[in-house]
Chain A
Amino acid sequence: AQSVAQPEDQVNVAEGNPLTVKCTYSVSGNPYLFWYVQYPNRGLQFLLKYITGDNLVKGSYGFEAEFNKSQTSFHLKKPSALVSDSALYFCAVRVPSSSASKIIFGSGTRLSIRP
């Protein structure tokens, strides 16, 4: 069965410092991996995705994520955090197939950036 784990419920970082939000996955087959961000009272916003190719994926708002097949990880990173990055972040996975339609989400990590 497909699954996604976000081991940290909350990550606290000072503004200007680099940030990492961790994600590991378990799937059979080659995964499609996604990061979404959710601001209060708003829907999920797409940040970036890994399909194939370069393991380092760049996305919106200066975020990037690194796909590591051997460690089955897809950690989200940003070199310099902003207070406005404070939000709830979800990692998600989908296995491509003719019958696979759904995305499996992790439980989310709350990112808090202090000024």
Chain B
Amino acid sequence: GAGVSQTPSNKVTEKGKYVELRCDPISGHTALYWYRQSLGQGPEFLIYFQGTGAADDSGLPNDRFFAVRPEGSVSTLKIQRTERGDSAVYLCASSLRPSGSSTDTQYFGPGTRLTVL
């Protein structure tokens, strides 16, 4: 596909359960980002990957959140022991080149709506 894709589009889970959210970036994009968007708010940064490594994870709220990108393409955001406050839309974005001084645009996927009951 031409754009960033995310699966599932919707995920409903129970408090305390474990969830995985998947992101497929645009082919050839080296940088990948995860954001979280709560109702009525703008997206908030979670983590940034350059290749396979997490270059900046300063936005992860606590150690229940973890993300991987083992082959430098697809990424998975993992949330352990989910809480009701984790309910939000989780957005993935990718850009062609590394961040920092790059002027490259971040392109966003449609998001995964997570609901924790």
**Residues of A that sit less than 8 Å from B by CB:** 4, 32, 34, 36, 41-46, 49, 51, 90, 92, 96-108
Contacts and interface: CB of A to CB of B under 8 A. Distances in A.
B108 A45 contact: yes
Interface stretch (B11-19, B62-70, B78-86, B99-107): B99-107
- Chain B interface category by residue count: 20 to 34
Given A43-B111, A99-B100, A101-B56, A49 B105 contact: yes
Nearest to A6: B42
B109 A102 contact: no
B100 A36 contact: no
Contact of A101 (B6, B41, B55, B107): B55
Contacts of A105: 42-44
Contacts of B91: 43-44
Main secondary structure of the interface of A (DSSP, over half): loop
The 6 closest A-B pairs by CB, nearest first: A105-B42, A102-B45, A101-B99, A44-B108, A101-B48, A43-B110
Given A90-B42, A97-B100, 5 more contacts: A43-B109, A99-B56, A102-B58, A103-B45, A107-B42
